[in-house]
Amino acid sequence: MADDFERRLERLFSEAPELPDCAAFAQGVERKLNRGWQTRRWLIGCAGVTGGVVGASQLVYSNLYQRIETAEDSARALSAGLSQVAPSAEMVSALSGGFGVWVAVGLAVLLLGFALSRVIEEI
């Protein structure tokens, strides 16, 4: 008896009657959603333009061009200094021996540790 009542009650709720103003209600909801999305788009666009203007003004006021020229001069000096440094025979022989193998093994273990932590994080 109770099972029959529950089945009928479940059937009534699963087959709800359609109300006469359901089309108007759906249109009203769609209109509100569209208006909300349009407002969000405008706000995001305004925030982007404002951020771009602020960023551009910061670049202009921070003497960016002078800093770029200084960085170019520093890069030239650094490349000139590095061109004078020649690989020494001691470095090459140290890496070609057993020390280089241990460095490679250590890096492989470190890589496996990072990969394992990433897998654990995904789980």
19-68 confidence digits (pLDDT tens)? 788 888 888 888 887 777 888 888 999 999 999 999 888 877 777 777 77
* Radius of gyration over every alpha carbon of the chain, rounded to an integer in angstroms: 34
pLDDT score of 6 more than 60: yes
Integer distance in angstroms from the first to the last C-alpha of the chain? 47
Q: How many CB atoms lie within 10 A of CB 39?
A: 10
The single-letter DSSP state of residue 21 is: T
> What is residue 61's predicted lDDT score, i.e. its pLDDT?
78
Residues 100, 94: contact at Cβ < 8 Å?
yes
Tokens of 56: 């551009």
**pLDDT-derived band at 93, boundaries 50, 70, 90:** low
> What is residue 48's predicted lDDT score, i.e. its pLDDT?
92
- Label residue 87 left, alpha or beta by phi (over 0 means left) and psi (-120 to 50 means alpha): beta
Residues 107, 101: contact at Cβ < 8 Å?
no
* Structure-token match 């333009």, residue found: 49
